[in-house]
Amino acid sequence: MLWGLSPRTGTERSMKKKAYFKADEADTGLGKFKGLEVRIGTIVDDEWDEPMGPTPMPDPTGLRAWDHKLLARYQPSYMPYCQVCCLCTFGKCDLSGDKRGACGIDMKGQQARIVLAAANIGCAAHLAHARHLVDHLIEEFGPRTELIQGPGTEIHAPVSRLVTGMRPRTLEDAAIIVDYCETQLAHTLSATHTGQEGSWLDFESKVLHAGMIDQVGMEIADLVQISTLGFPKADPEAPLVQSGIGMMDTNKAIILTIGHNIVPAAAITDYITEKKLGGQVEVGGMCCTAWDITRRDPSAKVIGPISWQLRYIRSGKADVVVVDEQCIRTDVVREAQKVKSPVISTCDKAVMGLPDRTEDTVDSIVDELVSFKIPGAFIHDHHKVGEVATKVALALKPKRRKMKFFPSKKKIQKMAEECKKCSECIRACPNDQPVMEAVLAAQLGNFEPLRDVYQSCIGCARCESACPNDFDLHSWMVVAAEADCKDETYMVRTGRGAIQDIEIRNVGQPIVFGEIPGVIAHVGCANYPQGGKDVHDMAEEFAKRRYIIVTSGCAAVSAGHVRDENGQSIYERRSGDFDAGGVLNVGSCVSNPHIAGAAIKIAAIFAKRNLRGNYAEIADYIHNRVGAVGISWGAMSQKAASIASGFWRLGVPVIVGPHGSKYRRMLLGKAEDERAWTVYDARTGDRVLTAPAPEHLFYAAETVAEANVMTAKLVLRPNDTGKGRSIKLSHYIDIHEKYYGFFPDDVWRYIRRDSDIPITLKDKILAQMKENNWKERKIIDPTLLKEQVMGGGS
């Protein structure tokens, strides 16, 4: 079936794609043609017999009704970071009290607007990444290259199916989906302009829209790279790879890659493989590029999360630094210059002020970099990057290994005597670490306190910026912790990609019924309040209780950076299967939609729900049935904000660490507000009170203890069976007693009938139920959507 090129919306738009072919000579049933060129506006994907749902490719208001249901239950709690607005020349406008700005906006609206701005920025970063990958891979492999998520993934690209109504089967399809996402982002970004949206509620709805679009863009980014670049394909046994500063072999030339976009880093490992230089050069990555290079080439190494950048650059071990995009230290050139490491920037979004050498010959660029005539170069041709980076690293390694970059302890002790005791280092530290006291101890030759600070340090170096003596305090910490750095040697499982349909088939029922108590995803950045070990400890606490643990991004690195008494990381001692007790790393930031995808596929496979353009129904299903919780303990970036927003729209709660309170808005429920927890019984259409589950949608926890207790609570779902609810409550009570020291006083709220009560705790719970005038409730088929009631709710 052919469609014309006239503008279309909704369903039609979701099905179309442009087709073009050209033939010098063609012998067809219609005759013989020379110089044939045919352009077709659109072709409908007739082969997919799944009926189209109500909201393919929704615009920013397409799912507004669903958003408002969520936002009525989980109300925004704003904590302004600033009382003024300074976004236009009307301002600055004082919005304190009940004042409004010159444009008419009030404080609540302004806070929601800033939240939307953050979600847009995060979404833009992933989407631009996806666009680059799609365009680049089309150029390399052709538009008709098939997209393959892996064996056992018949329902590939579940997020794209759900949102767009399309099955992206080729790179060309991927490009159409990215087109749609870019249009949506333009709309949600434009809403933040002065004199556009005015309601906090509609700003928040657009936050959810930007988050959903972000999920689609990320899914496409990972799908296209998995399909074409030789990554593990939905593989529970993705390779274990070396990780940690101590794993880097300084006998070889070292290339450090930082960022998120695999293309230049892949060119480096490809060049090394092609020239058989693996014995002389090694490649280590930081942040998500680390995961993606090891997915492509398991001989590459994961040095550490985002917060390890400064300590590794300053160590001088990297002979060349190659940056691509996102989460790169913006002073990377300045820092690398201090240790005579040239920087190669490769991405138009992060040129870093370097001269453009894209058109120059490899030899001339190498000469300039090796002789330090230029501190680095912008090379926008990844093939050239591979060759230049390798040649520069090999040329510089012999000279650079003789250099020492960190001061000796003796020198630090001497410098520490000049400390002015002004406390500015402590005041600048995000985690209030006792930096000054540690420096004062170093005066006396005691380096243990500096070593302690290293363990919690997020590597921001704000202490140095604040120091009136310009001391390199972060370097001092690294010197004090030299032995710890050398000991950072771990084996971590690289990103497996999607979850297989067969895995979902095996666990779908126990998850929906609550017998596997939950799926917990540790994702995001490394802005930890007390170091990355917390991520490991949280993951282990729940893995040993047979929850399914999924990891991605920097959190996936931190989870693997703890060894047990047998010297094994969590990835070595636990299975990579999507099953009870498994700990599976899906990959980089753009792999996060595999986590959302698993929840979506539960609805498709276990409950046989249609996904195609059917967002609200599936989100309602997940929200009421799939006990999934996202945790981003070190959430820092706007990307983390947009990733979280995508999970919120699916009804999946997200917990962040204490720094996450600076996102300045939580989405919180009120357990005692019965109206908020009253849902439809899909079987009867009756309005029925359920438990406050999940109680919150976005929550910053102050401590690991609080995060663990909240996680155990937020996996509760209205649809849990009696057995499932009883298992979940057993864990909640046990974790609550362990970390808070007492039996939780809200268990009664989650008891619907006798079968929900954990048998060994019956007496205590019965007493609590009596005290609170508990009444028996039905176990229903819960939905927030009237149209999901049998017969359409009429």
Pick from 62, 529, 651, 782 the residue near other proteins by CB under 8 A.
529
| Contact status, residue 394 vs residue 370, Cβ threshold 8 Å | no
Q: Which is nearer to other proteins, 438 or 700 (CB)?
A: 700
Which region, judged by CB under 8 A, interacts with other proteins, from 88-96, 241-249, 726-734, 781-789?
88-96
User: Is residue 430 part of the contact set for other proteins (CB under 8 A)?
Assistant: yes
**What angle, 0 to 180 degrees and rounded to 10, lies between the N-to-C axes of helices 533-543 and 553-560?**
80
CB of 685 to other proteins, least distance (A): 32
DSSP 3-state of 11: helix
Asked whether position 280 contacts other proteins by CB under 8 A, the answer is no
Q: Is 83 in the site for other proteins (CB under 8 A)?
A: yes
Tell me how far apart the alpha carbons of residues 221 and 594 are, in angstroms, rounded to a whole number.
Answer: 12
Residue 130's contacts (CB-CB under 8 Å, 6 or more residues apart) are 178, 181, 217, 218, 220, 221, 224, 590
Q: Which stretch binds other proteins (CB under 8 A): 323-331, 427-435, 600-608, 720-728?
A: 427-435
In the complex, least distance from residue 71 CB atom to other proteins, rounded to whole angstroms = 14
> Which among 794, 218, 790 is positioned nearest to 553, based on CA atoms?
218
Would you list the DSSP string of 89-147? TT--EE--TT---TTS--HHHHHHHHHHHHHHHHHHHHHHHHHHHHHHHHHHH-TTPBP
Which residue in the set 183, 361, 364, 423 belongs to the binding site for other proteins (CB under 8 A)?
423
- Contact criterion met (CB below 8 Å) for 450 and 480: yes
| Distance from C-alpha of 576 to C-alpha of 184, rounded to nearest angstrom | 35
Phi, psi of 119 (to 5 degrees): -65, -40
Nearest CB to other proteins, comparing residues 312 and 648: 648
> Nearest distance from residue 97's CB to other proteins, in Å?
7
Beta bridge partners of 94: 84
CB of 636 to other proteins, least distance (A): 13
User: Whose Cβ is closer to other proteins: residue 288's or residue 715's?
Assistant: 715
Piece of the chain touching other proteins by CB under 8 A; list 251-259, 548-556, 664-672, 776-784: 664-672
Give the interface size with other proteins as a residue count (CB under 8 A): 43
Rule CB under 8 A: say whether 78 interacts with other proteins: yes
82 contacts other proteins (rule: CB under 8 A): yes
Question: How far apart, in whole angstroms, are the C-alpha atoms of residue 430 and residue 459?
Answer: 10
Q: How far apart are CA 703 and CA 658, in angstroms?
A: 7
**Interaction between residue 96 and other proteins (CB under 8 A):** yes
Min dist CB 110 to other proteins, Å, is 10
Check residue 705 for interaction with other proteins (CB under 8 A): yes
Does residue 84 bind other proteins (CB under 8 A)? yes
Among 123, 128, 104, 129, residue whose Cα is nearest residue 188: 123
CA gap 194, 93 in Å, rounded: 12
Output the smallest distance, CB 705 to other proteins, in A. Answer: 3
The one segment of 242-250, 299-307, 515-523, 658-666 that binds other proteins by CB under 8 A: 658-666
Distances (CA, A) of 529 to 135, 434, 464, 532, 701: 39, 13, 19, 9, 11
**Residue number with CB closer to other proteins (737 or 754):** 737
Residues 615-634 that bind other proteins (CB under 8 A): none
Cβ contact 728:751 at 8 Å: no
Q: Quickly tell me which residue has 């000279």 as its tokens.
A: 399
Is 90 a binding residue for other proteins by CB under 8 A? The answer is no
- Residue range at the interface with other proteins (CB under 8 A); choices 90-98, 177-185, 228-236, 603-611: 90-98
Nearer CB in complex with other proteins: 186/422:
422
Q: How far is the CB of 595 from other proteins (least distance, A)?
A: 23
Chain centre to alpha carbon of residue 92:
34
Interface pick for other proteins out of 245, 466, 554, 583 (rule CB under 8 A): 466
Nearest to 401 by CA among 591, 233, 250: 250
Q: Report the alpha-carbon distance of residue 125 to residue 123 in Å, rounded.
A: 5
What contacts 216, CB < 8 A, 6 or more positions away? 159, 160, 163, 164, 177, 180, 181, 593
Residue 433 or 624 with smaller CB distance to other proteins: 433
Polymer length in residues for the chain? 794
The H or E element containing residue 286 is strand 281-286
Q: Are 580 and 516 in contact (CB under 8 A)?
A: yes
**Full 3-state SS string of 525-574:** CECCCCCCHHHHHHHHHHHCCCCEEEEEHHHHHHHHCCCCCCCCCHHHHC
CB of 109 to other proteins, least distance (A): 13
* 253-261, 696-704, 752-760, 785-793 -> range binding other proteins (CB under 8 A): 696-704
Decide: is 701 part of the binding site for other proteins (CB under 8 A): yes
Instruction: Write down the least CB distance from residue 201 to other proteins, Å.
Output: 15
Contact status: 102 vs other proteins (CB under 8 A): no
The nearer residue to other proteins, 382 or 665, going by C-beta atoms, is: 665
Output the CA–CA distances (angstroms, integers) from residue 665 to 108, 112, 428, 692, 735, in the order listed: 10, 8, 24, 20, 27
Say how many CA atoms lie within 13 Å of 269 toward its Cβ. Answer: 23
Q: How crowded is residue 147: how many other Cβ atoms within 10 Å of its Cβ?
A: 22
Shortest distance, position 714 Cβ to other proteins, whole Å: 12
Nearer to other proteins, 231 or 677 (CB): 677
Q: Is 662 in the site for other proteins (CB under 8 A)?
A: yes
Site for other proteins in 725-764 (CB under 8 A): 739-742
Minimum CB distance to other proteins, residue 467 (Å): 12
771 binds other proteins (CB under 8 A): no
Least distance CB 108 / other proteins (angstroms): 8
Min dist. Cβ of residue 481 to other proteins (A): 23
Exactly one of 182, 335, 484, 706 binds other proteins (CB under 8 A); that residue is 706
Is residue 661 at the binding interface for other proteins, with CB under 8 A as the rule? yes
464 binds other proteins (CB under 8 A): no
Query: Taking contact as CB under 8 A, which single stretch among the options 65-73, 153-161, 661-669, 751-759 is the one that binds other proteins?
Result: 661-669
The answer to whether 188 and 646 have CB atoms below 8 angstroms apart is no
Label the pairing between strands 665-668 and 678-681. Answer: unpaired
Distance CA 734, CA 756 (A): 16
Q: Which of residues 394-413 bind other proteins (CB under 8 A)?
A: none
Among 293, 277, 287, 304, CA closest to 239: 293
Q: Nearer to other proteins by C-beta: 403 or 767?
A: 767
3-state secondary structure of 691: coil
Candidates 179, 356, 417, 432; binder of other proteins (CB under 8 A) is 432
Residue 739, burial from CB neighbour count under 10 angstroms (0-12, 13-18, 19+): middle
Of 11, 33, 68, 77, the one binding other proteins by CB under 8 A = 77
Question: Where on the phi/psi map is residue 97: left (φ > 0), alpha (ψ -120 to 50), or beta?
Answer: left
- From the list 435, 710, 751, 757, which residue makes contact with other proteins (rule: CB under 8 A)? 710
* Stretch 310-349: interaction string toward other proteins, x if CB under 8 A: ----------------------------------------
Stretch of 398-406, 623-631, 678-686, 704-712 contacting other proteins, by CB under 8 A: 704-712
Site residues for other proteins, 188-227, by CB under 8 A, read none
**Among residues 10, 41, 80, 239, which is the contact residue for other proteins, using CB under 8 A?**
80
Binding site for other proteins (CB under 8 A): 75, 77-84, 94-97, 107-108, 423-424, 427-428, 430, 432, 466, 529, 658-659, 661-662, 664, 666, 668, 699-703, 705-706, 709-710, 739-742
